[in-house]
Amino acid sequence: MADAYWDAEFDTMPWDELRTWQRGQFAAFLAGLAKSSPFYAQRLDGVPVDQAGSTAVWAAVPFTTKDDLRAGQQAASTDALLGDLQGVDNGDIVQVVASSGTTGVPVFFGLTDADHQSWLDSVANMFFTAGVRRDSVVALTTGMPLVAGGMPYADAVRRIGATLVWVGGQTTARMATIMQKLKVDTLIGTASFATFFAGRCEEVLGVPADQLSVHTVIAGGEPGMGQEAMRERVRSGWGADRISEVMGLCDVMPGMWAECAEGRGMHFTAGRNVFVELVDPTTGEPVPWEFDAHGEAVYTTFTRQATAVVRFRSRDHVRVVGTDCPCGRTSPLIRCVGRTDDMLIYKAMNVFPSAIRDVVVDGFAAEIAGPLRLRKAHADQVRFDEAIPLEIELPESHSPGSTGDLGDRIETAVLERLRVRVAVEFLRRGAIPVGEYKNALTYVGQ
């Protein structure tokens, strides 16, 4: 069993017991933060921080949003490098990390030496849970050291003692050559990239990806890897026997969730440093961690010194898919359903684009090319009172005029499963730009 857990004590502590221990840290954490961070001094004014361990008091502690962090960083009542969010002297910061920031100004986060140690430990736990061991040879495909998936991931792989092969930032051809030469057995990348790379490997290397030695694919950074058809594409593309979905956030902790070998959902792997809550995204009310519960994940970094966050609204909508696991880890198992920002309203019902994608891919993967997307009248359209236009690419051998009843069957399946009407429109292969990988709906086929 020595090799079963990264942190046997915390990984197997009953979930309620872990929560109680975490709540026990809140009073001292908030009291310190109110003194050290001008942003939180103001934010916590009036909160009885000495009673923050009580669930009632905690539930009244204000949330922190990404916009708050951005504003807190821009406000500079001192000479702090990271604005009013910062809770330590500049000299105590040993590293700065940036949110990848697809929109707006990036937000920067600092690490003290102690923060760096806690990141190493928790992110290592994520990768260990996902299957990385001392004898693993791990290709890291992230290209940017400054983001959470860059240097922090690289550090954590080395913390486990695995062999880090940081191939990110190079051409696909070079990455493939290096992976072949060094007999890489574990690949870390986004789900889209893992699929794209598998599809390109034979073309650039002359050898299909399933003839390289990758047997574990660790994928994160976007929802989708919980979906069986997507997993199967990655598994067969690489000839892998293990797919591990992982999730973290640079604003909080770059690694917090990971799938164990059972592959039934992601465990929480950052309990020593981060408190996670589920809340109703509309009302902000706490939601209990029970089977099939869902809500927005909200995080508190109760050990963080340089740039702590309190009740941070992640916008990640997660569902509890299990509460016990044969591996012995005691945290709930979750899947990320999508971003609460992506949530649409169809006739007063909430629906995630990813849920529509999952129904289509589940039932029709063999009949469509891969990419699909919802068409909105304008970029921020959220409400739909008519059927939602759903564009789907066809395989090269098909033309939009010869699809028979496929459109009807897809529309019926979505209606039956989600009670949502979509209006399917078929497109020729290649019509949806590849650059839209991050689009919530896009399912990347071969």
In the complex, least distance from residue 93 CB atom to Zn ion, rounded to whole angstroms: 36
Q: Is 329 in the site for Zn ion (CB under 5 A)?
A: yes
404 torsion bin: left (phi>0), alpha (psi -120 to 50), beta (else): left
Q: Between 159 and 329, whose beta carbon lies closer to Zn ion?
A: 329
For Zn ion, how many residues bind (rule: CB under 5 A)? 5
- d(Cα 70, Cα 83) in Å, to the nearest integer? 9
Residue from 33, 325, 372, 441 in contact with Zn ion (CB under 5 A): 325
Nearer to Zn ion, 231 or 233 (CB): 231
327 binds Zn ion (CB under 5 A): yes
**56: exposed, middle or buried (Cβ count in 10 Å: 0-12, 13-18, 19+):** exposed
Question: If DSSP codes are grouped into helix, strand and coil, which group holds residue 279?
Answer: strand
Q: Does 373 bind Zn ion (CB under 5 A)?
A: no
Q: Does 309 bind Zn ion (CB under 5 A)?
A: no
Among positions 247-276, residues that touch Zn ion (CB under 5 A) are 260, 262
Distance CA 283, CA 292 (A): 19
Find the shortest distance in angstroms from Cβ 231 to Zn ion: 16
CB of 212 to Zn ion, least distance (A): 27
For every residue of 173-227, DSSP letters joined together read HHHHHHHHHTT--EEEEEHHHHHHHHHHHHHHHSS-GGGSS--EEEEESSTTTTS
| Nearest to Zn ion of 259, 411 (CB atom) | 259
Side by side, the strands of the sheet bearing 388-393 are 372-374, 388-393, 422-427
Our CB check for Zn ion shows the closer of 3 and 416 to be 3
Nearer residue to Zn ion within complex by CB, 262 or 280: 262
Of residues 261 and 293, the one with the C-beta less far from Zn ion: 261
Q: Do residues 292 and 320 make contact, with C-beta atoms less than 8 angstroms apart?
A: yes
- Span interacting with Zn ion, options 57-65, 326-334, 363-371, 380-388, rule CB under 5 A: 326-334
Q: Kindly tell me which of 200 and 242 has the beta carbon lying closer to Zn ion.
A: 242
In sequence order, the β-bridge partners of residue 253 are 249
**Contact status: 126 vs Zn ion (CB under 5 A):** no
- Amino acid type, 346: Y
Task: Find the shortest distance in angstroms from Cβ 56 to Zn ion.
Answer: 32
What are 401's two structure tokens? 């005029």
Binding site for Zn ion (CB under 5 A): 260, 262, 325, 327, 329
